[in-house]
Amino acid sequence: MNTPSSHSFSRRRFLGGLSLAAVGSVLAPSLRAEDAAPARKLGVALVGLGSYSTGQLGPALRETRFCKLAGVVTGDPAKGKKWAADYGFPEKNVYGYEGFASIAENKDIDVLYIVTPTGLHAEHAIAAAAKAGKHVIVEKPMAGTAAECDAIIAACAKAKVKLSVGYRLHFDPYHRELARHGKEKDFGIPLKMKGERKFRNAGGTWRTQRKLGCGGPLMDIGIYLVQGGIMGAGGVAPVAVTAKEHPNTRPTVFKDVEEGLDFTMEFADGSVLEASTSYAGGGRDAFRMEGPKGWLEFKQKAFTYSGAVVETSLGPLSFSKMNQQAAQMDDFAQCIQTGRETPVGGAMGRRDVAILEAIYEAMRTGQKVPVKV
């Protein structure tokens, strides 16, 4: 069992009391304030103009320093023209889903960000790389199956373009502290971790259709709990999972996918995550990790875009507000410009989808399932 040094404890107190700007060089070297602005911002085109693009990614691209919104891909040309007017890019950069090949000739666009339903991720990401020859960001989860993830990775490798997954929380200071604690074993091992992510889904959207959503709340919001557990465990995948489906209280809404489930992830060092995710309501969004030497807890808004309340056995954490999506996209732009690898690449996306598949198998069979990533 590792014993944290006095340096690690003092460093933790030090980090917890600083603003995001002050710890930028520690948390995310690629986003330091002193980094010079590029001669040209890379152009990002959003593929899919649903609520996440509209409410989060589009606005974030007004704040980015290394990339900008340069186009959109949509099934609604009128909506695309409105985006062009609102964001100041030319209407020629509005494309339909059948037009990926022609994007290859557009020098304004460097990156295609796939924000369509999960069941379409593989099709659109492969087209973005193989037909358009553009760098690719795929929103989480990366795809519906690990096999589809493999196909995306292969297409990007063949096209010699970079691939990233939309894991915004890896650029959030609170979650970076969670990951640091897990990596440095500050709280000792084994860890007991517990997470909940729940909201009420009224139905009527692609998220309750297996063909498009590839599953229910596990694929949509449960993946954050999977990521939280892995961060807490030091960045390693679990070795086994169990799962149990919740009773279906609205069978007319949840015909194709689960309404909710509980699952566990077991790690090689004896650490365990107990997690629960649901579309039945409750509004829970919390995460706690506790070891023999201390604890860290997201009291509320653990996995949302801002407003996290985080306490530890050494006192509360407090960081300045930041835009997670802007940081995520700026980091990928810098990966492209400098040639370094993204910390949230295709291998991570595939790993998590393999874990999700194992959880679903455990839910179906009622058995503990080993995880193969």
φ, ψ of residue 123 to 5 degrees: the values are -55, -50
Task: Give pLDDT tens digits for 181-202.
Answer: 999 999 999 999 999 999 999 9
Q: Say how many residues make up the chain.
A: 373
Confidence of residue 39 (pLDDT cuts 50, 70, 90): confident
- pTM score: 0.91
Task: Give pLDDT tens digits for 173-185.
Answer: 999 999 999 999 9
Q: Residue 38's pLDDT is what?
A: 76
290 close to 192: Cβ distance less than 8 angstroms: yes
* Mean pLDDT, residues 332-351: 98
CB under 8 Å, gap of 24 or more: what pairs does 82-86 form?
83/49, 83/58
241 burial (CB, 10 Å; 0-12 / 13-18 / 19+) is: buried
Mean predicted lDDT score pLDDT of the chain? 91
Evaluate if residue 113 carries a pLDDT over 50.
yes
* Alpha-carbon dihedral sign for residues 106, 107, 109, 111: positive
Q: Residue 84 CB: number of other CB atoms within 10 A?
A: 18
Identity (one letter) of the amino acid at 66? F
Contacts of 50 (CB under 8 A, 6+ apart): 115, 116
Confidence of residue 35 (pLDDT cuts 50, 70, 90): low
295 close to 288: Cβ distance less than 8 angstroms: yes
DSSP symbol at 280: B
Going by C-alpha positions, the residue among 181, 210, 372, 196 that lies closest to residue 299 is 196
Whole-angstrom distance, CA of residue 354 vs CA of residue 360: 10
Evaluate if residue 308 carries a pLDDT over 80.
yes
Task: Give pLDDT tens digits for 278-287.
Answer: 999 988 999 9
Q: Residue 65's pLDDT is what?
A: 97
